[in-house]
């Protein structure tokens, strides 16, 4: 435990130093993000900061805390493919199809060579389901979904990096205290990644002096997707739900972005300014207030995820219902889908109006 703590602190320090050095290199080589209509920032910024997180993370794993190469190397190769995809996208603006292809290649490497997959799932009242030939497609889609979810919220200074730290911390705690010995070893890797991101985060928090870029957002999202599947070869419904709840904010943003674009008959890959952070800022919150608000909501999701580990089946069911209702209310209040699409709020207003009509005069 003490060794893990020391290596995590060392990783943070390494990441801080690498980020400071890389910032100067990026500016000199003009690896920068130029403002446009979709950007919140208004000045040229060094980008592709995910390189420093990647480097600090794997330096610690291979040098400071040697973990068997049979575990680390497939993850390294898969994440390297995703990192390169992000770098090319930051430099050349890849098409959505090519970006997805790069992520799927990384996911395939991890799944095939690292034996990361979902093969069976035990459901209450039903029993064990075997995925069989669907195991690989499900695994690839799972990792792709988490990768894109984190990438999608990378729109404000420190947002994706901060939310990822909160999510990974929750996953690491669950691994240490609630799961098996195999998952504890994965938790060690998770805390090392937290250290790598934590060293970068002060430079990335508003006002940022460097951006993650797709290089960093895709890498972090990919790693969260991979870690969330580690140990889930034989999953239960709750163990499968936990990562989804932990990543509540980016997953909610992703799902409602898809829904919004489908309703408006737009391509799923079309970018817009109606994500959670955009909507909160439109309500009058400042840049920093918006980021801190989303951090707070992410922390709430994380606490709920921890509660699942103490709950009975019916308690978990009630938690899930509460989460779904809470997310829907939050989405409707901030207008994530559209101002005219708020069925739950509309129903509550109608219910309130009916109660008022039933009150006798004078009350």
pLDDT of residue 315: 84
pLDDT of residue 13: 97
Tell me the per-residue pLDDT of 296-318, one tens digit each, with 9 for 90 and over: 999 998 988 888 877 777 788 88
Q: Specify the higher pLDDT residue, 301 or 232.
A: 301
Other CB atoms within a 10 A radius of the CB of residue 350 amount to 10
pLDDT of residue 212: 93
pLDDT of residue 182: 59
pLDDT band at 33; cut points 50, 70, 90? confident
Residue 271 has pLDDT above 80, yes or no: no
Q: Per residue, what are the HEC states of the chain?
A: CHHHHHHHHHHHHHHHHHHHHHHHHHHHCCCEECCCCCCCCCCCEECCCHHHHHHHHHHHHHHHCCCCHHHHHHHHHHHHHHHHHHHHHHHHCCCHHHHHHHHHHHHHHHHHHHCCCCCEEEECCCEEEECHHHHHHHHHHHHHHHHHHHHHCCCCCCHHHHHHHHHHHHHHHHHHHCCCHHHHHHHHHHHHHHHHHHHHHHHHCCCCCCCCHHHHHHHHHHHHHHHHHCCCCEEEHHHHHHHHHHCHHHHHHHHHHHHHHHHCCCCCCCCCCCCHHHHHHHCCCCHHHHHHHHHHHHHHHHHHHHHHCCCCHHHHHHHHHHHHHHHHHHHHHHCCCCCCCCHHHHHHHHHHHHHHHHCCCCC
Q: Specify the higher pLDDT residue, 58 or 42.
A: 58
Cβ-proximal residues to 38 (8 Å cutoff; 6+ apart), any chain: 271, 273
pLDDT of residue 273: 72
Cβ-proximal residues to 49 (8 Å cutoff; 6+ apart), any chain: 19, 22, 23, 26, 200, 203, 204, 210, 211, 212, 213, 215, 216
Mean pLDDT, all residues of the chain: 84
pLDDT of residue 178: 63
Tell me the per-residue pLDDT of 126-146, one tens digit each, with 9 for 90 and over: 777 777 778 889 899 999 999
Tell me the per-residue pLDDT of 207-216, one tens digit each, with 9 for 90 and over: 889 999 999 9
Tell me the per-residue pLDDT of 54-111, one tens digit each, with 9 for 90 and over: 999 999 999 988 777 778 899 999 999 999 999 999 998 898 899 999 999 999 999 9
Asked which of 52-61, 71-80, 159-168, 183-192 is least confident by mean pLDDT, the reply is 183-192
pLDDT of residue 37: 56
The CA distances from residue 276 to 152, 215, 222, 263, in Å, are: 10, 22, 21, 17
pLDDT of residue 16: 97
For the entire predicted model, the pTM comes to 0.88
């Amino acid at each position: 435990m003490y060794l893990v703590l020391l290596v995590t602190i060392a990783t943070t320090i390494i990441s801080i130093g690498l980020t400071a050095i890389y910032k100067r290199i990026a500016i000199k080589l003009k690896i920068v993000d130029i403002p446009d209509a979709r950007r919140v920032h208004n000045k040229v910024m060094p980008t592709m900061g995910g390189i420093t997180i990647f480097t600090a993370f794997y330096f610690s794993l291979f040098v400071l805390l040697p973990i068997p190469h049979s575990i680390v190397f497939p993850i390294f190769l898969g994440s390297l493919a995703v990192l390169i995809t992000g770098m090319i996208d930051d430099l050349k603006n890849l098409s959505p199809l090519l970006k997805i292809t790069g992520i799927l290649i990384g996911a395939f490497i991890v799944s095939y060579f690292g034996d990361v997959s979902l093969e069976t799932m035990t459901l209450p009242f039903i029993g064990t389901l075997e995925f069989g030939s669907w195991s690989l497609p499900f695994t690839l889609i799972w990792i792709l979904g988490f990768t894109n979810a984190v990438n999608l919220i990378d729109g404000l200074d420190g947002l994706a990096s901060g939310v990822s730290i909160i999510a990974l911390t929750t996953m690491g705690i669950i691994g240490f205290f609630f799961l098996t010995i195999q998952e504890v070893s994965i938790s060690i890797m998770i805390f090392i990644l937290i250290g790598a991101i934590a060293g970068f985060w002060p430079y990335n928090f508003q006002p940022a002096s460097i951006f993650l870029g797709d290089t960093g957002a895709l890498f972090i999202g990919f790693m969260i997707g991979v870690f969330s599947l580690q140990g889930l070869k034989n999953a239960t419904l709750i163990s499968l739900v936990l990562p989804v709840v932990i990543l509540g904010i980016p997953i909610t943003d992703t799902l409602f972005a898809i829904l919004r674009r489908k309703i408006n008959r737009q391509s799923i890959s079309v970018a817009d300014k109606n994500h959670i952070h955009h909507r909160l800022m439109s309500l009058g919150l400042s840049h920093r207030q918006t980021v801190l608000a989303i951090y707070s909501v992410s922390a709430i999701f994380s606490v709920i995820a921890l509660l699942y580990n103490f709950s009975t089946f019916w308690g978990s069911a009630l938690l899930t219902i509460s989460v779904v209702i809470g997310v829907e209310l939050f989405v409707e209040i901030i207008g994530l889908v559209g101002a005219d699409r708020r069925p739950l709020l509309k129903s509550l207003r109608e219910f309130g109006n009916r109660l008022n009509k039933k009150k006798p005069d004078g009350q």
